[in-house]
């Protein structure tokens, strides 16, 4: 019992420490994302993404890069762009870029995993888009795309278009009030996923033995950086399976990815885990609701094939150039989370910025109506599970942190 309480305290302390490490990056990323959501309209995006050729794909990638990192917001935006005329491959480029190439995700990865994984995330995101583009050109699923578009055209369009230009919005206090409200919505979209993800990361760090990961991922936990092709392939396949079981968004999964790498999982396996936020069941179900099950499963095939290919190419490419990170170099449990260092001062600064935004959006312009961007609904059952899971996480963390400081 005493050992369990000790591990409970360590788990809670680790979870809160992980979140403290990442707090300023979350705030920075979501402020930037909120500014883009307000100042760059979806209508402007879709007008330039109709081409299925290189221009449409490049523009879809760019607009995804400056978009929100939330998978469910990305799904809704992708559906809207595809419905309004963007080609299927350009829409897929937008979806992949908005969940793999966004700024805030890169910052979080840098904090928990290091620069090699940041490079891997951005290069891998481009590889994902390139592989999906190639697969679509080879398979030519014209009938499937046509049926999916016809299914969407039956929906009623309820979106509103702002009459103000981005320059007018940027100069007005009302525009920044809209940014504040969008910023609030960004947190509303991810708070449950982030809470559960960071809590699970702490629990895994404290309770799950290394032998579990050595069994799950073949040849992990060793001192060697050499893996056979079959071992790397197994890691790249098991990574998405682990992500599928957690069904946590990419931002909440980064501490878990760091723990996997710290336990000896290969670079390819960790990258596949990070890339897997679009093949989890809630995402598959939402795509089925939008486009039908045949198209949803086709998208799963595209993304699963692409992430395995990209992960393997990254591993061998980094190995070729001597950039492969040393297995197990990440040791988050040994971090001094709450020291008075740059993280402390950055967190204070960005918490003050959050207070300023909330003042603008909910006090100075409290009566302002805000037409927020679209977000795919996860479903009542999943929302209920996540909500209760988040509140249980808070109870677990509160009790655990008391145990940590009392014992």
Per-residue pLDDT of the chain (407 residues; tens, 9 = 90+): 778 999 999 899 988 988 888 788 778 777 876 776 677 655 666 566 665 567 778 878 887 787 765 676 677 778 877 877 788 998 899 899 988 887 778 888 988 888 999 999 999 999 999 999 999 999 989 999 999 888 887 765 544 445 566 566 677 777 788 888 878 877 877 788 778 878 887 888 788 887 787 788 887 765 556 788 999 999 999 988 877 766 565 666 788 888 888 888 899 999 999 998 888 777 787 788 888 889 999 999 999 999 999 999 999 999 999 999 876 566 555 557 778 877 899 899 999 999 988 888 777 666 655 544 555 555 677 778 888 989 999 999 999 999 988 87
* 3-class SS of residue 195: helix
pLDDT for the residue 333: 53
Which residue matches tokens 């929906």? Answer: 155
The pair phi, psi for residue 271, each rounded to 5°, is -65, -40
Task: Kindly report the number of other CB atoms within 10 A of residue 174's CB atom.
Answer: 17
**Cα 200 to Cα 81: distance, rounded to the nearest angstrom:** 35
**Cα 222 to Cα 238: distance, rounded to the nearest angstrom:** 18
pLDDT for the residue 155: 60
pLDDT for the residue 159: 46
Closest Cα partner for 385 from 240, 247, 198, 251?
247
Closest Cα partner for 108 from 206, 213, 194, 10?
194
**Cα 344 to Cα 17: distance, rounded to the nearest angstrom:** 12
Which residue matches tokens 């014209």? Answer: 142
């Amino acid at each position: 019992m005493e050992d369990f309480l000790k591990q409970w305290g360590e788990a809670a302390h680790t979870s809160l420490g992980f979140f403290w490490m990442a707090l300023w990056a979350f705030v920075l990323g979501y402020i930037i994302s909120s500014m883009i959501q307000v100042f760059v309209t979806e209508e402007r995006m879709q007008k330039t993404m109709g081409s299925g050729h290189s221009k449409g794909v490049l523009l879809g990638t760019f607009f995804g890069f400056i978009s929100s990192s939330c998978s469910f917001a990305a799904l809704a935006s992708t559906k809207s762009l595809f419905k309004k005329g963007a080609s299927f491959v350009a829409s897929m480029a937008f979806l992949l870029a908005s969940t793999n190439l966004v700024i805030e995700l890169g910052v979080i990865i840098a904090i928990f995993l290091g620069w090699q994984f940041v490079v891997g995330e951005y290069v891998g995101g481009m590889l994902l888009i390139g592989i999906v583009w190639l697969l679509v050109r080879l398979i030519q699923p014209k009938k499937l795309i046509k049926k999916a578009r016809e299914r969407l055209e039956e929906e009623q369009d309820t979106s509103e278009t702002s009459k103000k230009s981005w320059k007018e919005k940027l100069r007005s206090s009302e525009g920044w009030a809209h940014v504040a409200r969008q910023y609030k919505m960004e947190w509303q979209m991810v708070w449950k996923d982030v809470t559960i993800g960071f809590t699970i990361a702490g629990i895994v760090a404290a309770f799950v033995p290394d032998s579990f990961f050595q069994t799950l991922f073949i040849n992990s936990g060793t001192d060697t950086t050499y893996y056979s092709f079959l071992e790397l392939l197994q890691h790249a396949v098991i990574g998405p399976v682990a992500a599928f079981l957690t069904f946590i968004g990419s931002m909440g999964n980064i501490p878990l990815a760091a723990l996997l790498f710290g336990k000896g999982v290969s670079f390819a396996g960790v990258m596949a885990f990070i890339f897997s936020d679009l093949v989890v069941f809630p995402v598959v179900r939402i795509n089925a609701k939008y486009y039908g099950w045949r198209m949803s499963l086709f998208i799963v095939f595209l993304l699963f094939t692409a992430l395995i290919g990209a992960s393997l190419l990254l591993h061998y490419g980094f190995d070729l150039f001597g950039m492969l990170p040393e297995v197990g170099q990440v040791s988050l449990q040994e971090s001094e989370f709450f020291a008075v260092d740059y993280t402390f001062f950055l967190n204070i600064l960005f918490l003050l910025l959050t207070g300023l935004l909330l003042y603008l959006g909910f006090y100075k312009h409290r009566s302002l109506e805000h037409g927020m961007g679209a977000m795919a609904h996860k479903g009542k059952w999943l929302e209920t599970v996540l909500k209760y899971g988040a509140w249980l996480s808070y109870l677990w963390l509160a009790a655990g942190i008391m145990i940590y400081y009392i014992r």
